[in-house]
């Protein structure tokens, strides 16, 4: 177990979403956590795909009237949604996260937080789509420019569904929209049935930055997936952390003693393998945890869990369920 732990390399989500996640490296994957696999029940306000109607209405209110034809998106998750809906923008963000292959030849407008205003102006957009988590930053960057904007949430699993449905509705792409959302709903229902009657393990979700290690609560992308399964994320239920990403307090973690630890890891992001090795060697508190002693420390694939993605959401939910629905 010690060899496995020392060999972990921790993935980076900048102030993150999801990644998502979350654009995670540019700061971009509900009801309380349920107990013992008690599933979150959909209210009457929810549609069959699980998207809340009021939230959908509020999100659609972000969009300007009319039918924009020259769209710029500053968000990789939103660019992916446009591609799935067969809506082609005139500008996409510059990012280390992968853009849809169909958009490779589209003009890149620079950072999601600070786009190149000359490029943006030259593309004469009639709508700019951005991530809700970057609203204040992007508004400041675009200050003085008379450009219609719409900001959509992309940090969690439910955020992705909500924003995808809003885009599909707004651009009248209901066929493409329903295909994706129905498939996701089918997978959620399948996993709900699979988890019925099972007592799920409690979990600690860990991520590393370049200089520290943090826990992820339910509002993070990975946290939203764990919550969707009905499992207990101790960051929310016991540690009571308010931010998506909070410093680890090992004394509190030992008291909570999670059954399983999920580590978001990537050799190309965040804390290095050596940094985590030093953390373990300098703090033997890790060895006191049941998850350590029972060989229940699992490394998550950054490619699946590190960036919020409607395209990969079904795989992310399915893959993470294997740690709980054994």
CA distance 318 to 326: 12
pTM exceeds 0.85, yes or no: no
pLDDT: is 145 or 89 the higher one? 89
pLDDT: is 268 or 243 the higher one? 243
What is the reported pLDDT for 270? 57
Same domain (yes/no): 74, 114: yes
Same domain (yes/no): 72, 156: yes
Same domain (yes/no): 63, 173: yes
What is the reported pLDDT for 264? 85
Q: State the pLDDT confidence band at 97, using cuts at 50, 70 and 90.
A: confident
Same domain (yes/no): 236, 168: no
In a domain, 189, yes or no: no
Q: Give the CATH number, domain containing residue 236.
A: 3.40.50.1980
CA distance 304 to 264: 10
Same domain (yes/no): 209, 315: yes
Same domain (yes/no): 223, 116: no
What is the reported pLDDT for 9? 37
Helix (H) or strand (E) holding 188: helix 174-195
Which strands form 91-92's sheet, in the order they lie side by side? 107-108, 91-92, 71-73, 127-131, 149-152
In a domain, 264, yes or no: yes
Residue 266 has pLDDT above 60, yes or no: yes
pLDDT: is 118 or 23 the higher one? 118
DSSP state of 155: S
Whether the Cβ atoms of residue 110 and residue 97 lie closer than 8 Å to each other: no
Same domain (yes/no): 245, 170: no
pLDDT digits (tens, 9 = 90+) for 111-168: 988 899 999 999 999 999 999 999 999 999 988 888 999 999 999 999 999 999 999 9
What is the reported pLDDT for 274? 58
Among residues 123, 148, 181, the one where a domain terminates is 181
Among residues 181, 209, 224, the one where a domain terminates is 181
How many domains does the structure of the chain reveal? Answer: 2
Q: State the pLDDT confidence band at 297, using cuts at 50, 70 and 90.
A: confident
CA distance 214 to 14: 11
What is the reported pLDDT for 236? 95
Whether the Cβ atoms of residue 28 and residue 77 lie closer than 8 Å to each other: yes
Among residues 124, 150, 181, the one where a domain terminates is 181
pLDDT digits (tens, 9 = 90+) for 304-321: 998 899 999 999 999 999
pLDDT: is 42 or 190 the higher one? 190
Which structural domain, as residue segments, surrounds residue 297? Answer: 2-27+199-321
In a domain, 38, yes or no: no
Same domain (yes/no): 165, 278: no
Which strands form 245-247's sheet, in the order they lie side by side? 245-247, 213-216, 203-208, 260-265, 297-301
Q: State the pLDDT confidence band at 241, using cuts at 50, 70 and 90.
A: very high
Q: What is the average per-residue pLDDT within 34-50? A: 53
In a domain, 104, yes or no: yes
Q: Where are the alpha helices (DSSP H) in 30-106?
A: 53-60, 76-84
What is the reported pLDDT for 51? 94
Residue 15 has pLDDT above 50, yes or no: no
Same domain (yes/no): 142, 259: no
In a domain, 194, yes or no: no
Q: What is the average per-residue pLDDT within 87-116? A: 94
In a domain, 6, yes or no: yes
In a domain, 42, yes or no: no
CA separation, residue 258 to residues 56, 87, 277, 279 (Å) = 35, 44, 21, 19
- Cα torsion angle, 66, 131, 54, 179, sign: positive
Ranges 163-172, 269-278, 300-309: which has the least confidence: 269-278
Tell me the average pLDDT of the chain.
84
What is the reported pLDDT for 301? 84
Q: What is the average per-residue pLDDT within 271-291? A: 73
Q: State the pLDDT confidence band at 302, using cuts at 50, 70 and 90.
A: confident
Question: What share of the chain has pLDDT > 90, as a percent?
Answer: 62
Contacts of 246 (CB under 8 A, 6+ apart): 214, 215, 217, 235, 239
Q: State the pLDDT confidence band at 37, using cuts at 50, 70 and 90.
A: very low
Same domain (yes/no): 236, 172: no
In a domain, 43, yes or no: no
Same domain (yes/no): 173, 71: yes
pLDDT: is 145 or 56 the higher one? 56
Whether the Cβ atoms of residue 322 and residue 173 lie closer than 8 Å to each other: no
Q: State the pLDDT confidence band at 267, using cuts at 50, 70 and 90.
A: low
Same domain (yes/no): 81, 23: no
Q: What is the average per-residue pLDDT within 64-69? A: 92
């Amino acid at each position: 177990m010690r060899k496995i732990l020392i060999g972990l390399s921790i993935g980076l989500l900048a102030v993150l979403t999801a990644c998502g996640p979350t654009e995670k490296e540019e700061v971009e994957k509900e009801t309380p956590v349920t107990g013992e696999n008690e599933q979150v029940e959909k209210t009457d306000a929810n549609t069959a795909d699980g998207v809340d109607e009021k939230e959908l209405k509020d999100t659609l209110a972000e969009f300007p009237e009319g039918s924009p034809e020259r769209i710029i998106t500053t968000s990789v998750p939103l660019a992916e949604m446009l591609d799935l809906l067969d809506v082609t923008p005139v500008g996409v963000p510059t990012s280390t996260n992968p853009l849809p292959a169909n958009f490779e030849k589209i003009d890149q407008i620079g950072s999601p937080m600070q786009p190149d205003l000359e490029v943006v102006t030259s593309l004469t957009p009639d709508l700019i789509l951005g991530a809700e988590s970057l609203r204040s930053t992007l508004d400041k960057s675009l200050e003085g420019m008379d450009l219609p904007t719409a900001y959509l949430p992309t940090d969690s699993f439910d955020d992705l569904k909500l924003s995808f449905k809003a885009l599909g509705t707004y651009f009248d792409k209901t066929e493409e929209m329903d295909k994706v959302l129905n498939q996701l709903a089918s997978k959620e229902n399948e996993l709900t049935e699979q988890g019925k009657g099972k007592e799920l393990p409690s979990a600690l979700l860990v991520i590393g930055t370049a200089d520290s290690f943090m826990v992820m609560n339910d509002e993070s992308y990975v946290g939203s997936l764990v919550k969707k399964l009905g499992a207990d994320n101790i960051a929310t239920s016991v540690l009571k952390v308010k931010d998506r990403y909070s410093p680890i307090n090992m004394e509190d973690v030992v008291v909570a003693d999670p059954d399983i630890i999920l580590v978001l890891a990537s050799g190309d992001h965040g804390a290095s393998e050596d940094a985590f090795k030093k953390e373990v060697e300098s703090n033997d508190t890790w060895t006191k945890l049941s998850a350590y002693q029972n060989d229940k420390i699992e490394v998550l694939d950054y490619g699946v869990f590190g960036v919020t993605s409607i395209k990969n959401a079904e795989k992310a939910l399915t893959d993470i369920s294997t740690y709980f629905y054994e």
